[in-house]
Amino acid sequence: MENENQEAKKEIPDVKEKKKFSFNYDKYYKLLLLIPIFLLLLSLTYIGIFYSKNGDFINKDVSLSGGTSITINGEINQEQLEVALKPKFPDVSFTKLTDIVSKKELALIVESSASVEELQPEIESILGYKLNEKNSSIEFTGASLSKDFYRQLIMALFISFILMSIVIFILFRTFIPSIAVIFAVFADIVFPLAVIDYFGIKVSAAGIAAFLMLIGYSVDTDILLTSRVLKTREGSVNNRIFRAFKTGILMNLTALAAILPAFFIVTGLPDSFRQIFLILALGLFADILNTWLTNASIIKWYCVKKGIQ
Amino acid sequence: MKIGFRIWILIIVLVLALLAIAPWKTFDKGVVIKSVEVNSSAFNEGLRQGQIISSIDGQKVDNLEDFSKVINSKNFSDAHTKLIINTNKGEFILFTNKTPEINVAGPPKSNLKTGLDLSGGSRALVKAKDKDLSSSEINDLISVVSNRLNVYGIADVQISPVSDLSGNNFIMIEIAGTTPSDLKDLISQQGKFEAKIKNDTVFIGGEKDIASVCRNDASCAAIESCNPDNTGMYFCTFRFSVYLSEEAAKKHADITKNLGVNVTPQGNYLSEKLDLYLDDNLVDTLLISEGLKGVVTTQISISGSDSGSTSDEAYKIASESMNKLQTILITGSLPYQLEIVKLDTISPNLGKEFTRNIVLLGLIVFIIISIVLFVRYRKIKITLSVILTMFSEAFITLGVAALISWNLDAPSIAGLIAGMGTGVNDQIVIIDESISDTKVSLKERIKRALFIILGAFFTIIAAMLPLFWAGAGMLKGFALTTIIGVTAGILITRPAFAEIIKRIEE
C-alpha cells in the first residue's frame, strides 16, 4: 500500500478513481460483467436478424459478391448519376470520397453487380465523356471468383480465430482464464460486425482481412491483464487488475490514436484503407469494454473461486 | 551513455534498411527506359529497358520534361537524323527517320515501390475456362501470355502463378503505369488464327507457319486510308505483309494448284478465296489472283478495318487492331481458352493524392501518439525513445519491403500503421513494468513484459497467417507488412528499447 501512495503523489487524478474503484469492485464486478454481455447479446441478436433477412452476416461489396466498381476522379454529380442509373441498375450504390480538411471531393465510387460492358457506357453517356485511365479506375470481379474469395476469407477468419485460441491456451495453460480471453476476442469481433451491418456498410475483402487483424490486435490487452493477475503476486488481485488497467487503457488509447486520425483529419484515403481502419477502430472500442469489464470480471471471479490472492 | 550490443544491432539494421530503401535516389537525374520496341533502330543499337538516359545530343536530360523537349525539337522527317544518346551504359548513336521507339519514365525516387492501387496500372486474374490447370500447364501458359504481351509492346509487366486456399490455380498479370486499352482481348483472346481455302487450312498463327510479320515499317505495314461513311463514322483500313514458312507456302501451292479461275472485269482470280479466321470468326477474305495458282508464294498481305467516331479515333483503333493481329500471328494461339475472373484498371491520378494523404496520416499518427505518451509519462526521454522505436520499426519494415521488392499497396500501408500501434503497446508494457515500484528486480520485470509481448506477437502472427493463401493472396501485403513489423519489433527494436529504458531508469 505504501507503493500506491507513492504513485498517488505522482498522479493525483488517478487516486480518486482508484479509491472508488477498489472500494466498489469486490461488490460490483459481477454486475459490471452484465454491461458487455448485454451489448454482446444485442449485437448477436441484430446480426441474427440481419442474417435471416439477407441470408448472410454482412453486406458484401462487389469484390466479394461479383460485379463492377467504377471510381470516377474529381467532383461528380452523384444525384444525376443516381437518377439515371437506378432504373437500369437497381442495385447500384455510391460512395463519395471527400477530404475533410480541404473539403475537396476526390472521387465518386459507383458499384453494381452489372458487368463493366453494361455499366461503363451508361455512365459515360450520363457524364458526357469517355472514362479512361486518367479520369477513372475500373475494377471488375467475376461472380464465381468473388464467391470463392468470400468463402476463403471466412475460412481464413475461422482458422485465424482457432490459431489465436491455441496460442492463448499454450500461454496460460489454464482453462477458464484462456476461455475468458478468447471470449473477449470473440465479442470484439461481434460488436464491429453489428455496427457495420446496422449502418449498411458494404464489406470488402480488405474489410474481412481487418477482422483477422482485429483478432491479433485486440488480444494484447487481454494477455496483459491475465498475465498480470495470474503470473504475479504483488499486491491484491484488485490491485493487479487495476495496474493492468492503467497500462492497458493507455495501450487502447494509443492504438486508437493510430487509427482515428484517418476519420477526422486525413480522410482522402483509399476505400480499402478506410475500411480496415473503421473495423479496427470499432473493434478497439469494443476491446476496451471486453478487456476491462468482461475479461477482468471473469478473471476476478476465477481468482475469488480459486482463492488466488 | 555506453551503447550496448542490442542498440548496436538496431543501429546496424537501421543503416541496412536505409541502404535498401536508398532515399537518395530522389536526387537522381535522367530518365529510365521502360521499354524498347523490339527490332527498332533504338533496339538494334543496344538501348535496353532499365538504362538511364542522361543526355541527348549534348542536351541534358534531367527529367521527363527535358526528354520530351529534346525529342520534340528534333525533326525526324529527314531520312536519317543522327541522335547521340548518353546513358549510364555508355553512348549510343542512332540514325533514324522517326521518333525513337522507346518509352521512358522519371527515375524512381527510392527503392520503395507502391502497389497498383496507389501507382496506377492494371491487374488481371486469369484462369483456364472449364479446366483445372496443373502447375506445369500454368507455367506454359505464363510463357505464352508473357511472350504475347512483350511482342505487343507492353512494358513493366509481371506475370505470376497464384493459387488459393481451394487449390485453384490462376495467373496474375500486373502492369504498372498505363493500361493498354485492349488488355482484355490480349489476355483472354485465345488467338487461334487460321487461313483456309474452303476447308483446307493453309497456315495458322505461330512460328511454325509464319516466318515473320512486317511491323514498324511503313513500306509493308500501314494504315492505308481513313474515310467517313454515311452514318458519320470513320473507317480506317490497315494492311501488312506476312511471310510464310517454306512448308506453309508449299501447302498453299498444293491447294491452289487444282482450283479453277474466275474471269471478272477487275481481273482474273481463283475460284476459291483465302478466308482468315480468328477464334473461328471470319475476319478477312482475300481474293487470290490467277498468277498465284500452284505457286510457292511466301508473302501474303493481310488487311482489316476498324471504325471510330472521329478520324483520329478510328486511326488509333485500327493501329491497335493491326498490332493485336500482328502479335497473334507472331506468337500463335494460347494453349487454353482463358477467362478473366478479375480485371482492375486503376487510374494513377487518384493514387498520387492517396499516397500523399497516407504519408500525411503517418506523420499525424506519430504526433498524436507522442502527445498521448507525453501527457501520460511527462518525460521527454521516455516519449522520445518510444517515438524513435516506433519510427525504427516502420523504417525497418519499409527496408524489408524494398529489399524483397514488395509493392506496397493501400492495405500493406494500413498494416504498417496498425503495426506501429501494436509496437507502441508493447513499449508501454515495458515502460510500465520497469517504472513500477515493486520489490521485484528490474530483470524479472522486463522478463514479465517480454512474456506479454511474445504472447501478443504470436497471436498476431497466428491471426494474420491465413491471409497468405486466402483470396488468391490479394491481401498478402496486409499480412506481410504486419508480420514484418511485429517481427522486427520482437527481434530488434523491443530488445533495444528495453535496454534504453533500463539506462534511463538507472
The bridge status of strand B210-213 relative to strand B234-244 is antiparallel
Out of A144, A219, A234, name the one closest to residue B456 (CB).
A219
Separation in Å, CA of B376 to nearest CA in chain A: 8
Q: Hey, what's the cell of B31?
A: 530518365
Q: Do B424 and A155 touch (CB under 8 A)?
A: no
Rounded alpha-carbon distances, angstroms, from residue B290 to B51, B165, B273, B293: 52, 61, 11, 6
Out of A149, A206, A223, name the one closest to residue B455 (CB).
A223
Beta-strand runs (E) in chain A? 59-60, 67-73, 93-99, 104-112, 136-141, 202-203
- Contacts B471 to A, Cβ<8 Å: 149, 152-153, 156, 205
- Contacts B347 to A, Cβ<8 Å: 71, 73, 133-137
Out of A144, A152, A266, name the one closest to residue B360 (CB).
A266
End-to-end CA distance of chain B: 11
Question: Can you give the length of chain A in residues?
Answer: 309
Distance CA A265, CA B366 (A): 13
Q: Give pLDDT, residue A171.
A: 92
Q: Do B365 and A3 touch (CB under 8 A)?
A: no
The region, left, alpha or beta by phi > 0 then psi within -120 to 50, assigned to residue A81 is alpha
Q: CATH code for A67-141?
A: 3.30.70
pLDDT at A14 over 60: no
Q: pLDDT tens for residues A175-219?
A: 999 999 999 999 999 999 999 999 999 999 999 999 999 998 889
Residues in Cβ contact with A173 at an 8 Å cutoff, skipping those fewer than 6 apart: none
Out of A107, A234, A254, name the one closest to residue B421 (CB).
A254
Tally C-beta pairs within 8 A across A and B: 260
- Quick check: A181 and A172 in contact, CB under 8 A? yes
Distance CA B273, CA B308 (A): 28
Spell out the domain ranges in chain A: 2-60+145-306, 67-141
Q: Hey, what's the cell of B333?
A: 494461339
Separation in Å, CA of B356 to nearest CA in chain A: 9
Residues in Cβ contact with B175 at an 8 Å cutoff, skipping those fewer than 6 apart: B121, B122, B123, B149, B154, B156, B157, B158, B183
- Residue type for position B274: L
Nearest residue in B to A152, CA atom? B470
Separation in Å, CA of A10 to nearest CA in chain B: 10
Distance CA B491, CA B497 (A): 11
For the ranges A75-79, A196-200, B63-67, B355-359, which has the lowest average pLDDT?
B63-67
Half-sphere exposure for B474 (CA within 13 Å, toward CB) = 32
Rounded alpha-carbon distances, angstroms, from residue B118 to A73, A275, B104, B354, B357: 14, 16, 20, 7, 11
Beta partners for residue B126, in sequence order? B171, B340
Confidence tier at B181 by pLDDT (50, 70, 90):
low
- Quick check: A97 and A78 in contact, CB under 8 A? no
- Contacts B344 to A, Cβ<8 Å: 137-140
Confidence tier at B77 by pLDDT (50, 70, 90):
low
Nearest residue in A to B465, CA atom? A160
Q: Does B225 touch chain A (CB under 8 A)?
A: no
Distance CA B346, CA A183 (A): 41
Distance CA A287, CA A218 (A): 6
Q: pLDDT tens for residues A281-303?
A: 999 999 999 999 999 999 999 99
- Sole residue written with cell 495501450: A251
Q: CATH code for B5-24+349-505?
A: 1.20.1640.10
Out of B342, B354, B463, name the one closest to residue A213 (CB).
B463
Q: Do A266 and B361 touch (CB under 8 A)?
A: yes
Q: Does B354 touch chain A (CB under 8 A)?
A: yes
pLDDT at B470 over 70: yes
pLDDT at A9 over 50: no
Q: pLDDT tens for residues B208-267?
A: 888 888 887 777 888 888 888 888 888 888 888 888 888 888 888 888 888 888 887 777
Q: Does B408 touch chain A (CB under 8 A)?
A: no
If one counts every other C-beta atom within 10 angstroms of the C-beta of residue B239, the result is 17
Residue A53 or B433, more confident: A53
Half-sphere exposure for B357 (CA within 13 Å, toward CB) = 29
Out of A142, A160, A270, name the one closest to residue B463 (CB).
A160
3-state secondary structure of B223: strand
- Quick check: B329 and B108 in contact, CB under 8 A? no
Separation in Å, CA of A283 to nearest CA in chain B: 13
* Residues 166-195, chain B, touching A (beta carbon < 8 A): 166, 168, 178-179, 181
* Residues 281-340, chain B, touching A (beta carbon < 8 A): 339-340
Q: Does B374 touch chain A (CB under 8 A)?
A: no
Separation in Å, CA of A48 to nearest CA in chain B: 25
H-assigned helices in B22-165: 41-44, 64-73, 116-119, 135-152
Q: CA quadruple B484, B490, B495, B500: dihedral positive or negative?
A: positive
- Contacts B168 to A, Cβ<8 Å: 148
What are phi and psi for residue B226, nearest 5 degrees? -130, 125
Distance CA B247, CA B197 (A): 16
Q: What is the mean pLDDT of residues B406-423?
A: 87
Q: CATH code for B29-105?
A: 2.30.42.10
Question: Can you give the length of chain B in residues?
Answer: 506
Name the CATH code of domain B121-188 (choices 3.30.70.3400, 3.40.190.170, 3.40.718.10, 3.30.70.1400). Answer: 3.30.70.3400
At the topology level, CATH places domain A2-60+145-306 in Multidrug efflux transporter AcrB transmembrane fold (1.20.1640)
Nearest one of A72, A74, A84 to A122, comparing CA atoms: A84
Q: Does B467 touch chain A (CB under 8 A)?
A: yes
Spell out the domain ranges in chain B: 5-24+349-505, 29-105, 121-188, 193-333
If one counts every other C-beta atom within 10 angstroms of the C-beta of residue A12, the result is 8
- Quick check: B129 and B338 in contact, CB under 8 A? yes
